[in-house]
Amino acid sequence: MQETKLDPWGSSRIEDYDKLYSAFGISHFNPLLKRIPSPMRYMRRNIIFGHRDYEGVLDAILGQKKFAVMSGFMPSGEVHLGHKMVMEEIIWHQERGGSAHFAVADMEAHSVRGVSWKDCKKIGDDYILSLIALGFKPSGRIYFQSKDSDVKDLAFELGSEVNFSEMSAIYGLTNEAHVSHMLSAVVQSADILAPQLEKFGGPKPVVIPVGADQDPHIRLTRDIASRARKLTVNSREDHIRIDVKTKDDIDAMKDIERKFKKNKTGLHELHLDIYGAKYEEVAEVADKAEIKIGGYAFTPPSSLYHRFMSGLTGGKMSSSVPESYIALTEPPNDAAAKVRKAKTGGRATAAEQRNLGGVPEECVVYELMLFHLIEDDDKIEDIYKECKGGKRTCDSCKGYAANLVFQFLKKHQDDRENAKRRLKEYGIKYE
Ligand code: TRP
Ligand code: SF4
């Protein structure tokens, strides 16, 4: 018999993500798992597969230091299970002490997808209800890009750090690309960096949970964050070195030098060397000094990447094929019916199924349970083993999953109704 690797968290499509590690420098998430206190379902199950710089956020969680979580969506199409993943990741970090920020990317939807402002508001409100229903707390910040002057002002500033050819290389823009399309890209960078504004508690690690398709935005924003720095701190062999870009900012260096009076220091035209000090200590002082001279002292944002569920009909989920996804707002009965029709990893006949077992790695129903419907790891492992061992029939398995989807949606939709009454706590007007 052919040897197959048994892994309830695996998927036949996971290889698609492998190249992201080598090609773009995304790190594997798995090695961090054991350091994470009560990791969430997507972490435990390898659904969050990669990250950039998540260590900084993890250190903040463990050391109870300040950090933030931020993400957002373009309001286009119905709110569905894919959105739920990001929402749950935001909420998980909020529960661990992070300040939480959620953007409705209406400027992006309007400029890139041509969604009218009226629809942006309507769809955005719908997303917000699900976010709150899933457990987002009122201490967090929810906003529409077009209504947020902090974000818009910051976007204008950040725009000085990127030029047209860079934008077009990253986003594949042609000469015909509209200016507002480009603008919406810097607005997204502003979304990501705004949690580090003084107003929101200053520089700190910020994690952006997103689908892997959003990585170009993250990379660009990390570059912008570094470029916007007035002071840069680097560890050298036997000292710490701080550089400034212009002589105008040398006063900040003098400030820092004074704080390290006890240490041996050397102030040069555009840099300062400090001996016998810890990196973290110098970095913190440098952040304060940078803010004093009007800088932002951004920490490059971190990110988490999750893989996507397949469409219920096989292939990709697509908003233009309603049978391929489950909307959080659709009638629970309709959703259950979609599950009963979904593509499974079952065999052609019942006898084959009994003898060979099913293929959960290629089963959308299994994926649905793994991603969304079953919280208990032992339970999902049992299902996996039963399927592999030919002890489940797809018909009853689909019925089981359909019922779970029904229950989940019913509760979620009740919670959305409750959320409607609580919008004021979040500072939101709902029409
Ligand atoms: N570009 C994202 C999308 O296509 C939406 C978005 C806007 C976003 N600002 C963000 C995502 C900030 C993460 C962080 O849906
Ligand atoms: Fe999928 Fe369940 Fe059939 Fe296994 S038994 S292939 S998990 S539907």
Q: 418 C-alpha to center of ligand 2: Å? A: 35
What is the tens place of the pLDDT at every residue in 347-373? 999 999 999 999 999 999 999 999 999
Q: 209 C-alpha to center of ligand 1: Å? A: 10
Q: Residue 345 corresponds to which tokens in the numbers above? A: 């990893």
Return the closest-CA partner of residue 45 out of 362, 404, 367, 386: 367
Q: Point out the ligand nearest to the CA of residue 90.
A: 1
Contact 82, 46 (CB under 8 A): no
Q: Does any ligand 1 atom lie closer than 6 A to the CB of residue 105?
A: yes
Q: 347 C-alpha to center of ligand 2: Å? A: 9
Choose one of 371, 387, 405 to mutate for the ligand 2 pocket test, by most ligand atoms within 8 angstroms of C-beta.
387
Kindly report the pTM of this predicted structure. 0.94
- pLDDT in the model for residue 17: 76
**From atom 5 of ligand 2, which residue's Cα is the shortest distance away?**
394
**Mean pLDDT, residues 306-327 taken together:** 88
**From atom 2 of ligand 1, which residue's Cα is the shortest distance away?**
73
Q: 392 C-alpha to center of ligand 2: Å? A: 7
**From atom 13 of ligand 1, which residue's Cα is the shortest distance away?**
71
What is the tens place of the pLDDT at every residue in 244-288? 999 989 888 999 999 999 999 999 999 999 999 999 999 999 999
| Domains of the chain listed by start with CATH number | 18-228+300-306 (3.40.50.620), 231-292 (no CATH), 322-426 (1.10.240.10)
What is the tens place of the pLDDT at every residue in 101-143? 999 999 999 999 999 999 999 999 999 999 999 999 999 999 9
- pLDDT in the model for residue 6: 61
CA dihedral over 150, 64, 40, 419, signed as positive or negative: negative
- pLDDT in the model for residue 3: 42
Taking the chain, what is the end-to-end CA distance rounded to the nearest angstrom?
Answer: 61
**From atom 9 of ligand 1, which residue's Cα is the shortest distance away?**
188
- pLDDT in the model for residue 4: 42
3-state secondary structure at position 219:
helix
Q: What is the mean pLDDT of the chain?
A: 93
- pLDDT in the model for residue 413: 98
**Mean pLDDT, residues 322-344 taken together:** 96
What is the tens place of the pLDDT at every residue in 400-426? 999 999 999 999 999 999 999 999 999
Q: Does any ligand 1 atom lie closer than 6 A to the CB of residue 367?
A: no
Within 9-116, residue ranges assigned H as helices are 15-24, 41-44, 54-62, 81-95, 106-113
- pLDDT winner (highest mean) among 5-19, 301-315, 331-345: 331-345
- pLDDT confidence tier of residue 96, bands split at 50, 70 and 90: very high
**Mean pLDDT, residues 296-304 taken together:** 97
What is the percent of the chain with per-residue pLDDT over 70, rounded to a whole number? 96
Residues with Cβ within 6 A of ligand 2? 344-346, 358, 360, 363, 365-366, 387, 392, 394, 397-398
- pLDDT in the model for residue 317: 81
Q: Which one-letter DSSP state was computed for residue 329?
A: T
Residues near 280 by Cβ (< 8 Å), separated by ≥ 6? none
**Mean pLDDT, residues 77-86 taken together:** 95
What is the tens place of the pLDDT at every residue in 150-178? 999 999 999 999 998 888 888 888 888 88
